[in-house]
Structure 1
Amino acid sequence: MDLAACLAAVSVRSMADVHRAAEALRDIALSWCDLHVVAVDNIASKHPMVDADGTVLAADVFGWTGDSEHWWKDSRLALSSPLPRACRYESEVFWVNAQGFNTRQPNPYLDELNLDNFEKRALTRVAIVVPVHLPFGQIGAVCFLSRDPERTELSAEYEAHADLLALLSHRFIAGYAKAHRTRRWLPVDCQLTKREVECLRWASIGKTDKEISMILARSHATVRFHIQNAGEKLDAVNRSQTIFKAAQLGYLGAAA
């Protein structure tokens, strides 16, 4: 199967496609890399990925059926496991074991993550991980695990197949997220001005209106006007929600 066919196979346009696409991702990972799949569409959610009938993909499609393999039932994993935690600090595919993270470019954030008791916390000895950063601050992840539970490195599979796994994972998770999203949380086509963004960026790091007015050499009233105006555009009920929604739309990204 060529790349175009692989991408088509894992694409999700509606919930009716989910089961078939998950099976395709599973089969490609096994046939190309001999790896098992663990997939989550939102590392902050307690709800497992399901198909149109509500069937949990982890068990029914990806084969995690053993009594000790029901990882999606442990809501603490997103907070304690180094795999989803790393996805908050990295956007490119990486592989990891107890000795550390292996990326194509250095990432000092990953170097500082605690890997003590790695196997117990990650529920594996080694994994290739694809972070999937989606709109509105949502982060998904697909982990690829060796079928041999004793293996502790996946460097060969990473070098040979990382790009393919990343493309397929992003296509599958992004499609699932769109198909599964039923509630609109943010206004459509909201455009903030340069000055509104400047004020919100300073507010997001804890500056008061008075402090922002001094930084930007504008009056206190002008700063309040810009923040309130941004809140109206974002349909926010208060200052905190204004900052939160602006961040979800990417206006307040961390400085380089």
Structure 2
Amino acid sequence: MGERSASLKDDLARVNVTSVKDIRTAAEALRDIAWERANLRVALADNIASKNPLMDEDGGILAAEVFGWNAPDERWWADTRLALSSPVPRACRYESEPFWVNADGFRTRQPNRYLEAIDLSNFEKRALCKATIGIPVHLPFGQIGLASYGVADPERTDLSAEYEAHADELYLLSHRFIAGCVKALRTRQWLPADCQLTKREVECLRWASIGKTDKEISMILGRSHATVRFHIQNAGEKLDAVNRSQTIFKAAQLGYLGYAA
């Protein structure tokens, strides 16, 4: 066990990214580790909401140049519709732990009824594989990355053995690599640093986020209409937002609004 922990620690260091210059070598390390451990091929995206594939310092597309997705039927990174049509990135919007999936369903460490509701019809055509291990990577400000691991044999549909043996370590490695890439590549500060909202501001924004008007929020909280408006406007100033919608959006990105369980 100690030997395995030491190996994982070394592997985490190999995939660590501290600057844009590290991306290429770290990607190559992740590719090699996945193959050495279980003959797994890597496909990843730093942001499933972006049309742009992950690149190295020189603009090289990692999916093609490092991970080897070059065959005509493998160029998933060139399909800008994939994040919306494939059930694999879609699942990452509802799950934060590793899973594996084929046409028969999702398998996770804990039950997730949201995954059970995802349409898996025409799975192979939509997911571009018969089975894969999915690693969601949830990052600050609501960004979601994805690392997908498939076996060398494209006809395999059962990845339960690989999932049980390697999913947790793949999660750590994928998260370390993708999070490092995102930090290294982020050049613009979209949200104010160290923004602290008050309890009242958060309460008002939570109700506003589910469609309540200022008047309705004032009745719910037992505060005047003007007080509710003041709290929302004050939160907007702190978040450098231009209107109510952007105030709610930015507060959600920073994790102030939570979610319904």
| TM-score between the two structures when normalised by the length of structure 1 | 0.99
Deviations 1:165-223 (A, max 9, x none): 00000000000000011010000000000110000000000000000000001000000
Partner SS state of residue 258, structure 2: coil
Gaps of 5+ in 1: none
Say how many residue pairs are matched: 256
Deviations 1:82-107 (A, max 9, x none): 00000000000000000000001000
CA distance in structure 1 between the aligned counterparts of 2:257 and 2:89, rounded to whole angstroms: 23
Amino acid at match of 1:243: I
* Cross-structure match for 1:30: 35
* Cross-structure match for 2:3: none
Give 1:67 deviation, angstroms.
Answer: 1.7
Amino acid at match of 2:195: C
CA distance in structure 2 between the aligned counterparts of 1:99 and 1:117, rounded to whole angstroms: 11
Alignment of 1:21-60 (within 5 A): 21-60=26-65
Q: After the TM superposition, which parts of structure 1 deviate over 4 Å for at least 4 consecutive aligned residues? A: none
Alignment of 1:91-240 (within 5 A): 91-240=96-245
CA distance in structure 1 between the aligned counterparts of 2:253 and 2:232, rounded to whole angstroms: 16
Give 1:4 deviation, angstroms.
Answer: 0.8
CA distance in structure 2 between the aligned counterparts of 1:75 and 1:213, rounded to whole angstroms: 44
Confirm whether residue 69 of structure 1 aligns to residue 70 of structure 2: no
Amino acid at match of 1:69: E
Which of the residues 80, 86, 90 maps onto 2:95?
90
Deviations 1:120-158 (A, max 9, x none): 000000000000000011000000011101100100011
Deviations 1:9-41 (A, max 9, x none): 000000100000000000000000111000100
Confirm whether residue 81 of structure 1 aligns to residue 81 of structure 2: no
CA distance in structure 1 between the aligned counterparts of 2:170 and 2:136, rounded to whole angstroms: 11
Cα RMSD, aligned residues only: 0.7
Amino acid at match of 1:125: K
Partner SS state of residue 247, structure 1: helix
Gaps of 5+ in 2: 1-5
Partner SS state of residue 135, structure 2: strand
